Amino acid sequence: MTLILAIETSCDETSAAVIKDGHEILSNIVSTQVEFHKKYGGIVPEIAARKHIEVINPIIQEALDKAKTSFKKIDAVACTYGPGLVGSLLIGVCAAKAIAYATEKPLIGVNHLEGHIYANFLSPITYPLFPCICLMVSGGHTMIVYVKDHGEYEVIGRTRDDAVGEAFDKVARLLGLGYPGGPIIDKLAKEGNPKAIEFTRPMLNDGFDFSFSGIKTAVVNHVKRNPIPSSQFPAPDIAASFQQACVDVLVTKTLRAAEMKKVKTIALAGGVAANSLLREQLKKEAKELNVIIPSMSLCTDNAAMIGAAAYYRIKAGKSSELDLKPVANLSLS
């Protein structure tokens, strides 16, 4: 049995988890700071780092207690070391290094994006996950990754401007809906008509890269030309049509990538993988391909996914040195 204590602090969630044998979640505590950032309409890095410091120790203790284990009984300690906000990453990395040093257990630094992919190992699957095409969609990233095997990544498409989650957040702010925008637009879109406004689908038939800033600008221009009367607020048709444009581009390119790489499995990863239309449309259009999607709570940032990725690192005989440093722009491949 291998028990991993994992820590995730790359953005505005402080999370600690205990994972058994790479797939069983004994605990996964997530403390979100969303309330502190809401009034600024986005994450304020200095506030994020300070809030991580305040809660990191109690969150780690809570994760150990819930898993009915202790520092002594864990086999390794893992942490996200990038990409992310450097001040936020630093808190998790320092905590993990201190625990690894004091307990003399191995330290495993994990790439946050790799963690999102490995969230798919936390649900029971009956077929090999790799090779697969992974659509990685979050507030900071949008990419199509060919995952050949553990640790073998080829990024075949990425956004040239905004990440899709960022576009959801910006459109929600424009419509005065609040923060974070993704879940709010997802919910509101259920009451709207996705065909009401034909927003542009940039680069739909052109390679594997994306442009979401173009869709966001189309929404801005539409609202300028047709101001929303207060009687029609909060504009469900705009939310539904915007969401449909984003999902059409994501699904079309992901399926094309799966066809090109001749894979049988598509995996979703990242916060936007919680989007209900994306989940539904991808499953429907993938037809005979396997589509694997983490449960809602494992799509957004959490430490369980970092523990799952760390397990395969340990199995491959890899670990990090105690001088591990956060890398804000750490890449996947």
Three-class SS state of 329? coil
Q: Which is nearer to ligand KG4, 64 or 167 (CB)?
A: 167
Q: What are residue 137's phi and psi, to 5 degrees?
A: -130, 115
Q: Which is nearer to ligand KG4, 92 or 271 (CB)?
A: 271
Size of the site for ligand KG4 (CB under 6 A): 19
181 binds ligand KG4 (CB under 6 A): yes
CB of 13 to ligand KG4, least distance (A): 7
Contact string 294-313 vs ligand KG4 (x = CB under 6 A): ------xx------------
**Cα distances (Å, whole numbers) of residue 333 to 89, 147, 233, 263, 327:** 20, 10, 44, 19, 14
Residues that bind Zn ion in the complex, under the rule CB under 5 A: 138, 301
- Which burial class, exposed, middle or buried, applies to 179 when counting CB atoms under 10 A from its CB (0-12, 13-18, 19+)? middle
CB of 115 to Zn ion, least distance (A): 8
- b/e string for 136-155 if b means 16 or more Cβ within 10 A? bbbbbbbbbbbbeebeebeb
Q: How far apart are CA 58 and CA 159, in angstroms?
A: 37
Name the segment binding ligand KG4 (CB under 6 A); options: 42-50, 52-60, 265-273, 316-324: 265-273
Strand order in the sheet with 3-8: 24-32, 13-20, 3-8, 76-82, 107-111
Helix 236-261 × helix 276-285 angle, to 10°: 40
Name the segment binding ligand KG4 (CB under 6 A); options: 38-46, 149-157, 264-272, 322-330: 264-272
Which residues, numbered 182-201, are part of the site for ligand KG4 (CB under 6 A)?
A: 182-183, 186
Q: Which is nearer to ligand KG4, 248 or 301 (CB)?
A: 301
- b/e string for 198-217 if b means 16 or more Cβ within 10 A? ebebbbeeeebbbbbbbbbb
Q: Which is nearer to Zn ion, 182 or 202 (CB)?
A: 182
108 binds ligand KG4 (CB under 6 A): no
Name the segment binding ligand KG4 (CB under 6 A); options: 52-60, 143-151, 259-267, 271-279: 271-279
Binding site for ligand KG4 (CB under 6 A): 11, 138-140, 165, 168-169, 180-183, 186, 270-272, 274-275, 300-301
